[in-house]
Amino acid sequence: MSEHQTVEMPNEKSTVEVSRRQLPLHCPTPEMSLWNSHPRVFLSIEETGQATCPYCGTAFSLKNE
């Protein structure tokens, strides 16, 4: 690998929109790469519409449906 080549890290998408059908919310989500992830953590998003994973910093936003 050249020193100028960047490597994409799994779960690097910083903001994820979720719908109420996807609740209860947990990170990592099923769409995220699991081989290099952290333990599953459940996040409370119902009251504020926003949540941030304490492990990876992914921000979640609840879609208005």
pLDDT of residue 4: 58
pLDDT of residue 7: 46
| Distance (Å) of CA 34 to CA 1, 2, 39, 51 | 24, 26, 9, 20
- Strands 50-52 and 15-18, sheet pairing: unpaired
Distance CA 41, CA 28 (A): 7
pLDDT of residue 8: 44
Is 10 domain-assigned? no
For the chain, what is the domain count?
1
Domain that holds residue 46: 15-62
pLDDT of residue 5: 53
pLDDT of residue 14: 79
pLDDT of residue 22: 92
Give the model confidence (pLDDT) of 1-45 as tens digits.
455 555 444 456 578 999 999 999 999 888 887 766 789 999 999
